[in-house]
Amino acid sequence: MTDADFRALARSAAMRYPANDRFAYHFAKGKLIGDPVFAHLLQKRLIPAGQRVLDLGCGQGLLAVLLELAGERPAKFHGIDLRPHDIARARAAAPQGEWVEGDIRTSEFPASDAVVILDVLHYLSAAEQREVLERIRTALGDGGTLLLRVADGNATLRFRYTLFVDHVVTALRAGSWPTLHTRPIGEWQALLESLGFTVTTEPMSHGTPFANVLCVARYKA
């Protein structure tokens, strides 16, 4: 898929949101085109058609819309997010999905072939991160894949900028300054491996000022 093809796909995905919800349209278009992780997931076929997909912190359902339009429609797509407005947008744009307004720390995780968590786990405490990952391992079972994007918690300027943006965006949404729990990428990888995952990592912030890394973690019981 060329860059031009993906941009056309992103525009089509943005058009799936209601015409009277201009925020949803512009957010979808900007996020899909500006964030390299979505094109990467498609180009590498990390979520092939026919899988049961669990999207934790699904937002307004961008991934579900993108997979369907790209011809990689899942057998089942289950999204969980705290924000009711985003869940309503997901239901409007991707009615084929199952959308749950809830907290990933307590919501039930259905049996899945692929679990996606993009830029979410650092909002949880260290103990909660491990608990969620343990529950993901159970949901995946033998041969499943976790696609986890995290910030590489090192001392670089890119990481400090990533952290600053996260703080500001969250404060604007929630009205309070959040406490974030980050780790260097080596610690994320060690945590996943301690839970039985085989992990590969790839920088996932090209074209942006952020310090994000995608962990592709495969579980073999």
pTM above 0.85, yes or no: yes
In the chain, where are the structural domains located?
A: 3-219
* 81 phi/psi in degrees, rounded to 5: -155, 150
Residue 172 pLDDT > 90:
no
Residue 19 pLDDT level (bands cut at 50, 70, 90): confident
Instruction: Give the span between the Cα atoms of 88 and 103, in whole angstroms.
Output: 16
Residue 214 pLDDT level (bands cut at 50, 70, 90): very high
The distance from CA 51 to its chain's CA centroid, rounded to whole angstroms, is 16
Provide the b/e sequence for 165-181 (b: ≥16 CB within 10 Å). ebeeebeeeeeeeeebe
Average pLDDT, the chain: 94
Provide the b/e sequence for 34-65 (b: ≥16 CB within 10 Å). ebbbbbbbbeeebbeeebbbbbbbbbbbbbbb
Is 40 in a helix, a strand, or coil? Answer: helix
pLDDT at 47: 97
| 130, 144, 152 from 193: Cα distances, Å | 12, 14, 17
Task: Identify residue 20 by its one-letter amino acid code.
Answer: N
* Beta pairing, strands 197-203 & 98-101: unpaired
Task: Please give the CATH number for the structural domain made up of 3-219.
Answer: 3.40.50.150
Task: Identify residue 203 by its one-letter amino acid code.
Answer: P
Is 113 in a helix, a strand, or coil? Answer: coil
Task: Identify residue 96 by its one-letter amino acid code.
Answer: Q
- Contact 14/113 with Cβ under 8 angstroms? no
Token pair 């990952």 in the structure block, residue: 133
- Residue predicted with more confidence, 107 or 154: 107
Token pair 């919501």 in the structure block, residue: 107
β-strand partners of 101? 81
pLDDT at 51: 97
